[in-house]
Amino acid sequence: MIRAFIFSAFLLTEVVASGQEFKVDYDSDRDFSKYKTFRFGEGEILTPKDQRQANEEEVHKWVRSGVSRELQMKGLQPADSLADLVISYAVGTMTKSNAGDLGPMGLVPGSMDRTYMRDYRQASLMIDLNDKNNFLVWRISAITDISLSSGERMVDQIVQKGFKKYPRMGKTKKKKK
């Protein structure tokens, strides 16, 4: 019975993990050392107002403070206008359901039910960094499952992971000979 429970938990974990997507796109030929300042442009919350579990100001604060922290750690400074980079973002959540068949090893003894059903909330976050000419130079896009209390933590994790490879000031890309 313990093996059946462990196998069922493993299957559910695999299903949850398969719902996670994360991608960072950037212009690999771009010299990021020339960007020294940033400012925020538009931020949009796509979740319908009646389905929001956090207020709009909190969500904007989570994204803006996370991105600001990461870019400042990379050596960039915030600017009011005429910044080298303009950050825009879109964030949203939706309720989803997932169902599947556990198979013979996932059965509880005496039960003929082989299926499971799971309702969960899925969050999407996309962050764009555009240069002065409105050319996209860096994009973070993530889709992940969230729990009721992990909104701020989820945003922080996505932002940290998304800027992990962003070059620090003073480091230029090595030119190929």
Q: Which domains, ranges and CATH numbers included, belong to the chain?
A: 2-162 (3.30.160)
Report which of 29, 65, 67, 28 is spatially closest to residue 163, judged by C-alpha positions: 67
Mean pLDDT by 10 residues, the chain (177 residues): 32 42 92 95 89 86 96 95 94 79 58 67 91 94 74 89 87 49
144 bridge partner residues: 123
How high is the pLDDT of residue 177? 46
With residue 89 as reference, give the H or E element that holds it: strand 85-101
How high is the pLDDT of residue 60? 95
How high is the pLDDT of residue 3? 33
How high is the pLDDT of residue 103? 59
Distance CA 66, CA 156 (A): 6
How high is the pLDDT of residue 102? 65
Q: Between the CA of residue 34 and those of 37, 88, 138, 172, 174, what are the distances in Å?
A: 9, 20, 14, 9, 14
How high is the pLDDT of residue 16? 39
Backbone angles phi, psi at 52, to 5 degrees: -75, 135
Report which of 30, 49, 35 is spatially closest to residue 78, judged by C-alpha positions: 35
